[in-house]
Amino acid sequence: MSKNLLIIIVAGVFGFINANAAATDSSNNNTTIDITAHQQSKDAVAFSPFYDFTIDYNPQPDTLVNLANASGIKHITLAFVAANNGSTNSCDAAWGGYNEYRVADSWGETAIQNFGSDKVTISFGGAFGPYLFDKCYTTSDLYTQYQNVINTYNVTDLDFDIENWSAPNEEAARTRMIQALKMIQTNNPQVKISFTLPASPEIGLPLATFQFLQQAVSDGLNIDEVNIMAMDYYWIPPDYEGKSMWDVTLGTVIPYVMNQLQNLFPNKTTEQLAQMLRITPLIGQNDAPQEIFTKNDMAQLVNYAKEHGNPIAFWSLNRDHPCASDHPPIGQNTFEANDCSGSFDVDGNFTGTNYQTSHYEFAKLAE
């Protein structure tokens, strides 16, 4: 990304970086955490990991209950509600964009109710969408789709994972989304809204993302959380080469984003900003082959969240497994699988390197 994007970073970021690093002494070394002791001593952390709901294809009534029993999770973020790709009317909420998984048909509703809808966040969008705000061309139509999700699943926590803005209608889509969500908040004051957004070690939130948040705040939308994707950086600052993913995130991404949030919400304290900044890594192997988020990184993230009050998540519970030695190839230049956390080579073959030895080890570090 170009250096001129640094204009969105407010003054004082380096002071925050230095203070943050001094408080933890983690950005200057690859600290090793005693994970066993960590599990025994940790306090509660606001933890709601992502789960790709559509991988189940046909979730059974006990799907999420069984997942909670196996992993220890108490809250979950279900991904993703998108625009229906298989219908002539694409302004139609459907899980994964599949016509077979329409919200209007209450797909997955029993599994959500059995888990407890008050413990579920439903996330819209994702890396591939398609986004409802792109396919619903009026604010009223978009509002209706969002409201249908609330009514169908009886949820009060909505997340919007926005990783790609749609040119050339970006400004109109942003405005439509903000106005529709304001209507949601007016008619459903109990609903909380979060945004899951990419972030980088170079500038924190990208310019288009930061401008969207600026517009949302200016237009009067109440934002409960900003959830940064602490993953897939592809570029590591020279001072952090060879350091862990957590070291990079702690020393660069979090300070940048905290300063951006201070710029957006100047009346909030540092503690209040931390409580609205959720941190979400990609466990194990990331898309970039040199980027690996280990169990030790996860333990340090949980310790940081305990100290500063940040909510946390990860992508994803589907991946919180060791890879089988005979895992089938996943495609060239694809280094991470969607069903386990180990490493794959340039030809898409499992390298034999796992970052966990049993199921749900990452989740159990946070619960």
The predicted pLDDT at position 166 comes to: 61
The predicted pLDDT at position 59 comes to: 84
Instruction: Please check the confidence at residue 30 and state whether its pLDDT lies above 60.
Output: no
| Cβ partners under 8 Å of residue 111, min gap 6 | 59, 60, 61, 62, 63, 64, 65
Instruction: Please check the confidence at residue 36 and state whether its pLDDT lies above 70.
Output: no
The predicted pLDDT at position 41 comes to: 42
Instruction: Please check the confidence at residue 16 and state whether its pLDDT lies above 90.
Output: no
Query: What sign does the dihedral 335-336-340-342 (CA atoms) show?
Result: positive
Distance, in Å, from the CA atom of 160 to the CA atom of 319, rounded to the nearest integer, reads: 21
Domain range for 209 is 3-366
CB burial of 159-187 (b: ≥16 within 10 Å; e: otherwise) equals: bbbbbbbeeeeeeebbebbbbbbbbbbee
Instruction: Please check the confidence at residue 15 and state whether its pLDDT lies above 80.
Output: no
CATH number at 184 reads: 3.20.20.80
Which residue's entry shows tokens 């991404």? Answer: 253
Nearest residue to 246 (alpha-carbon basis) of 280, 216, 289: 280
Tens of pLDDT along 81-108?
999 998 888 999 999 999 999 999 999 9
C-alpha dihedral, 218 to 221 to 225 to 230, nearest 10° = -60
Asked if 202 and 214 touch (Cβ cutoff 8 Å), the reply is no
Percentage of the chain exceeding pLDDT 70: 87
Cis peptide before 49 (omega within 30 of 0): no
Instruction: Please check the confidence at residue 47 and state whether its pLDDT lies above 60.
Output: yes
Query: What sign does the dihedral 236-237-240-245 (CA atoms) show?
Result: negative
Distance, in Å, from the CA atom of 96 to the CA atom of 55, rounded to the nearest integer, reads: 9
Asked if 246 and 300 touch (Cβ cutoff 8 Å), the reply is yes
Mean pLDDT, residues 251-280: 98
Tens of pLDDT along 226-242?
999 999 999 999 999 99
Distance, in Å, from the CA atom of 264 to the CA atom of 281, rounded to the nearest integer, reads: 23
For the chain, the average pLDDT equals: 89
What is the rounded end-to-end Cα distance, in angstroms, of the chain?
36
Asked if 335 and 318 touch (Cβ cutoff 8 Å), the reply is no
Distance, in Å, from the CA atom of 31 to the CA atom of 194, rounded to the nearest integer, reads: 31
Q: Which of 23-37, 139-153, 344-358 has the lowest mean pLDDT?
A: 23-37
Mean pLDDT, residues 36-44: 49
The total number of structural domains in the chain stands at: 1
The predicted pLDDT at position 89 comes to: 86
CA angle, 6 then 236 then 4, to 5°: 15
- What token pair was written down for 190? 């109990």
